[in-house]
Amino acid sequence: MSDIRHAAVITGASSGIGLAYAQQLSQRGYDLILVARRKDRLEQLAFTLEEHSRSAVTTIVADLANEADLRRVQGVFSERKDISVLVNNAGVGALGPTSKVDVYSLENLVKVNVLALTTLSKAALSAFKARGHGLLVNIASVIAFGPSATAAAYGGSKAYVLNFSRSVEQEYTEGGITVQTILPGPVKSEFFSASGVAPPGFPEEHFMSADTLVETALRAFDMKERVTFPTLADTASWAEFEGARKKFYKSVLMTGKPAARYALAK
Ligand SMILES: NC(=O)c1ccc[n+]([C@@H]2O[C@H](COP(=O)([O-])OP(=O)(O)OC[C@H]3O[C@@H](n4cnc5c(N)ncnc54)[C@H](OP(=O)(O)O)[C@@H]3O)[C@@H](O)[C@H]2O)c1
């Protein structure tokens, strides 16, 4: 049996989905590098995980919206040769009508949900390429498909995560590198309170627990799924959607001419 240990970097590990990833990747035998702003939460989690598993846990207290902090986290991918998983999970909602959300919250959302995710994805993929293996997990959301008047920047950021992740997935078709995009529906976590809004008024049973979400996402990974909708019952509907999307994309891509309905009156 090999004694080589692998480490997973998890952003946003201080609560919700990130915390559940930390617990379940620890059960799968990974050492962990946990990133978030709340030092006390990270240290408590590291203590508990080290007590109950073989995982060695490192914490990095970092605000991913802060450039110097982001560079520090980026640096671990060149410093540590044992990292074989990155879970880009940290995210914020800045929910509410855009006219009512302050501009700093919107900018912060772009920095965390888009810029940090992009920077860390690139750092991880470069390291994985050099080592010949690795798993990048990017947490999007089903809202990537649902423009919403109370989540404009959030929905836009998750559409970015989906398209970005699927695009880099196409770059790494050979070798042992995997990109998995997760698109959860509503999950019970601190997400809505962190955004300063009440959770949507869905019935309680419409929220998945963070533990179940992560269990499902890991099972989907084991099944070699690359785009995972944990709540999708009918996989044929995704195949149909993809078929329609490809047909539509082809129809608008390279005709070189305006459509006939835009013909200028002579
Ligand atoms: N909950 C849902 O319904 C739902 C649905 C679909 C997708 N998602 C996505 O799932 C991911 C996790 O969300 P969650 O539901 O688990 O919410 P959560 O409990 O609020 O967790 C968010 C995590 O992100 C971290 N974070 C936020 N801003 C950060 C920053 N500037 N720098 C570093 N870390 C930061 C938080 O840690 P600190 O505050 O300690 O920094 C926390 O650990 C997000 O990307 C979210 O968009 C959530």
- Give the pLDDT means over successive 10-residue stretches in the chain (266 positions): 83 98 98 98 98 97 98 98 98 96 98 99 97 97 96 98 97 90 96 85 88 98 97 96 97 88 80
In a domain? residue 238: no
Q: H or E element: which one contains 75?
A: helix 67-79
Residue 143's alpha-carbon distances to 61, 182, 186, 216, 253, in angstroms, are 29, 12, 10, 19, 25
pLDDT at 1: 41
Query: Are residues 18 and 187 in contact, defined by beta-carbon separation less than 8 angstroms?
Result: no
Q: Which of 19, 113, 138, 187 to mutate to test the pocket of ligand 1 (most atoms within 8 A of CB)?
A: 187
Residues labelled catalytic: 154
In a domain, 227, yes or no: yes
Are residues 33 and 8 in contact, defined by beta-carbon separation less than 8 angstroms? yes
Q: Is residue 213 part of a domain?
A: yes
Query: Which residue out of 86, 111, 165, 189 has the highest number of ligand 1 atoms within 8 Å of its CB and is therefore the one to mutate?
Result: 189
CA-closest candidate to residue 108, choices 81, 126, 128, 90: 90
CB 24 within 8 A of CB 218: yes
Residue 100 lies in a domain: yes
Check which CATH number belongs to the domain holding 215 and give it: 3.40.50.720
- Quick check: CB of 36 below 6 Å from ligand 1? yes
In a domain, 120, yes or no: yes
266 located within any domain: no
For ligand 1, is residue 190 a contact (CB within 6 Å)? yes
Quick one: pLDDT at residue 3? 67
What local confidence, expressed as pLDDT, does residue 254 receive?
Answer: 79
Asked, for residue 247, whether it belongs to a domain, the answer is no
State the total domains in the chain: 1
Does residue 258 lie within any of the structural domains?
A: no
- Per residue in 38-62, pLDDT (tens digit) is 999 999 999 999 999 999 999 999 9
Contacts of 137 (CB under 8 A, 6+ apart): 21, 85, 86, 87, 88, 89, 180, 181, 182, 217, 221
Domain housing 148: 7-233
Q: Residue 4: name the closest of 23, 32, 30 by CA.
A: 30
- Closest ligand 1 atom to the C-alpha of 19? 43
Atom of ligand 1 nearest to the CA of 63: 32
- C-beta separation of 143 from 99 below 8 A: no
> Which tokens sit at 152?
């404009």
- What pLDDT is stored for residue 121 in this prediction? 98
114, 160 contact by CB (below 8 A):
yes
Q: Which atom of ligand 1 is closest in space to residue 154's alpha carbon?
A: 47
The alpha carbon of 92 and the centre of ligand 1 are apart by a number of angstroms equal to 6
